[in-house]
Structure 1
């Protein structure tokens, strides 16, 4: 099998590439330069059985007007280039796995993949446009709506660890907002499962356990032998982070119905196990 990955140098992409290489799969990393070169991209995708698109600017920087444009365009332009190449090849047997996020959903109800109750904010709008671009493909398509990815000393955990280590980790707002999450190892094996079991359409790639921000913060603090004693009021978060505060105080209740129905098995189905905390 030949798999081409856009975003292979990122947090998830690196680990995904290593996993597939260990399985004996031929991996081709699609560079930014190749994404901007129609001929080069065509040649890569022509030989790929599966194309995985994880590319996009991080949302973890300040949301200035210019950077919001980069967040959106980095996803739309990459996806458009990949879809155009696939459609030009005209091979409907290929599989495109395109990333998205559970941030597309509203915060007021429980969501499975059939839900069409979407949030009215910048991140949700990015996801909607991103998915719409992917849906222009003529080939098989799986859109993976990702929760917060948990990995020891990397990604989200790497970002919050220094603060919690200092003993000043805090609950955000009232802490009742749900937190949809997935351990990096389960994310990788879920993508592999999707490929091998032909799981198509929208797929929520999240752990089956629903937790709140307060629960996560308390458990994470204990996992590194610290306490979480503080909370940051919503108004303070808004003053510090501006529009971006919305992703901190509005979570999503999401269940992985399609993966459950396809009999996917999680190695990390609860947050204590994901954080290596046994008590």
Structure 2
């Protein structure tokens, strides 16, 4: 099987490409014509392109976030539609869902904020593809090689990690091990539609914090006030402080068996 990946240099892209021998790399600024050349003989396209979301947003950076996702996917889809590609798997995020509401793929309400709008536009462009298309809505991806967990490790190892705010915000997460296997599952079963790439067991920030402290054998006694994150990241702080309670109903209905459904076991094994 020949795979094409956008965003291959990122944390998730690096993990996925290690599972396949024949990989083509599509870059964010590639023209439609160049992408079409690269898609020669490609069976599946995995679209992970997108500028980092955890960064202070201003008007210009919001344009970059939109362009790197929506515009890049639009060009990619235009090329795929003229190719022999059999399957597109695009990316989205649980930020599309509203806060403080249990959600699964049947939830129609979209978060009334920038992230909700961005994810919705991103998905709509991917779904305009004429080839069979699946979209994975990522939760917080956990792995020590990158993503949110890597950023947390230093303060927690120094014993200065702690809950965010009151610790009640829900965290919908997925281990990088499960995420890689989910891609394999979607490809092997030719799945299409929307899938939440999250564990069936979301946890509060307090539970997550205690689990990470336990895995690292470190105390977690220094809470991080939400206003500090807002000073650092501004509007983007909502990515960290938002409360997303999301369940992978569609994946479970399709028969996927999670390797790391439990936060304690996941962190213990990921940090070995």
TM-score by length of 2: 0.94
Match of 1:247 among 236, 239, 252: 239
1:30 corresponding residue in structure 2: 26
* Cα distance change of structure 1 residues 39 and 153 upon mapping to structure 2, 3 Å threshold: closer
The count of aligned residue pairs is: 270
C-alpha offsets along residues 4-25 of structure 1, whole Å, 9 cap, x if unaligned? 111111111111011122xxxx
The answer to whether the 8 A contact 1:152-1:275 is kept is no
* Cα distance change of structure 1 residues 94 and 153 upon mapping to structure 2, 3 Å threshold: closer
In the TM superposition, what are the counterparts of 1:178-189 in structure 2 within 5 Å? 178-189=170-181
Q: Which portions of structure 1, spanning 4 or more consecutive aligned residues, are displaced by more than 4 angstroms?
A: none
In the TM superposition, what are the counterparts of 1:73-92 in structure 2 within 5 Å? 73-89=67-83, 91=84
Q: 2: CA distance between counterparts of 1:153 and 1:217?
A: 19
C-alpha offsets along residues 24-67 of structure 1, whole Å, 9 cap, x if unaligned? xx2111134xx422222112224211110001101122212222
Match of 1:97 among 80, 83, 89: 89
- Aligned-residue Cα RMSD (Å) equals 1.7
Helix, strand or coil for the counterpart of 1:241? helix
Helix, strand or coil for the counterpart of 1:88? coil
In the TM superposition, what are the counterparts of 1:228-267 in structure 2 within 5 Å? 228-267=220-259
In the TM superposition, what are the counterparts of 1:184-223 in structure 2 within 5 Å? 184-223=176-215
Q: 2: CA distance between counterparts of 1:247 and 1:154?
A: 17
1:13 corresponding residue in structure 2: 13
The answer to whether the 8 A contact 1:17-1:27 is kept is yes
TM-score by length of 1: 0.92
Q: 2: CA distance between counterparts of 1:143 and 1:236?
A: 34
Unpaired runs of at least 5, structure 2? none
Unpaired runs of at least 5, structure 1? none
